[in-house]
Amino acid sequence: MVQVFRQAGERVGFAELFFDLVFVFAITQISHTLLHHYDLAGALQTGFLFLAIWWVWIYSTWVFNLLDPEQPRVRGLLFTLMGLGLFMSMAIPTAFHERGWIFAAAYAGSQVLRSLFMWHHAEGRLRNTYARILTWLTAAAVFWLLGGLMHDGARVALWGIALGIEYLGPMTGMYVPGLGRDRSSDWTVRGGHIAERCGLFVIICLGETLLVSGATFAGMAWDAPGLMSFLGALAGTVGMWWVYFHWGHRRGSHQIEHSADPGALARLAFTYLHIPIVAGIVLAAVGSERAIAHPLDLGSPAEGAALIGGLVLFLIGNGLFKRVSAANFPLSHLVGLGLSVLAFLAGPWLPLWALNGVAALILAVVAVWENWSLTRNLSV
């Protein structure tokens, strides 16, 4: 059988970084779609699409954790998935309208093709694992494709079933009658690679915040309120980077690299618990762009839902992620969440440039508090 699996090493390859460019586009499409449909329906639809985009990316990460991207067949798979990902990303703005069938076909095709490739090339327990995964994703694909051909409520219902199947699968061990279920100890993963890939996805989302903020401010008159909003967005992005990378990612990477059961840790900490982290960054980016575009508007509950809601999601996700490698949910993050609630309540009396600055200040408080606390404990 042709060799397609990694022999040694955990470093992320250039082909994988090239693959991620598609998801830079996907995240941009999601944030812009929410910006142009900034209401409850738009939030629910883009939230759903975000969960789908994250899931197709994280499944790819698990697969390329085992495959060698230097091998021609693997590169062929990776570039094919890139093409499908581009069609999926291009269809995002109208995925619940005329291009739903394109989104569904590209999404389902990616999930099934990748799993079929792994099943074909794997042996032993890994082959059984991907037989289970292929069964679950094929079942979901039926609902994706049927939903793509339907309209309105029928599409939403069918796609909801499809995504539910995919998210529940790992929780059940991908149980299939006759094949049984997987155990986390069967999942041979390179922990350092998984951690690095998730960190790079966070960088993608933070980069989207910078790009959107810069592009919005560049097209405006550079007055004081707009400048303050832009600086708040910049400070908030730096704060998110610091809160995630300075302690949390480094500690999480060390833990998964030395874990006796890296598969279970990868599933919990890097597959599920990264969802609110990444979603919070994207939502906060939308709030920052609205603050830059309309700095003197007041921070109504609708505006606060993005600016402060994104911050809340980000802090909850980081706190849970760090809780996996620590004894407690970080006190600094609990304080940050309390301050976020107060900021949201005060929002209707604050202009958006000020509310954006308050969000950045809360992140600074969390980062400084956490660094002081952990540094003090290490020195004791």
- DSSP assignments along 12-66, one per residue: PPHHHHHHHHHHHHHHHHHHHHHHHT-SHHHHHHHHHHHHHHHHHHHHHHHHHTT
> Low-confidence residues of the chain, pLDDT below 70?
1-2, 8-10, 185-186, 377-380
CB 29 within 8 A of CB 52: no
Report the C-alpha gap between 341 and 85 in whole angstroms: 37
Taking the whole predicted model, whether its pTM rises above 0.85 is answered as yes
Q: How do residues 145-159 score in pLDDT, each as one tens digit?
A: 999 999 888 999 999
Q: DSSP labels for 256-273? A: HHT-S-HHHHIIIIIIIT
pLDDT at 2: 64
Report the C-alpha gap between 330 and 326 in whole angstroms: 8
pLDDT at 186: 67
pLDDT at 265: 83
Residue 133 CA, distance from chain mean position: 21
Report the C-alpha gap between 261 and 188 in whole angstroms: 9
pLDDT at 380: 44
Helix (H, G, I), strand (E, B) or coil at 180: strand
Q: How do residues 293-316 score in pLDDT, each as one tens digit?
A: 999 999 999 999 999 999 999 999
Judging by beta carbons within 10 Å of its beta carbon (0-12, 13-18, 19+), is residue 283 exposed, middle or buried? buried
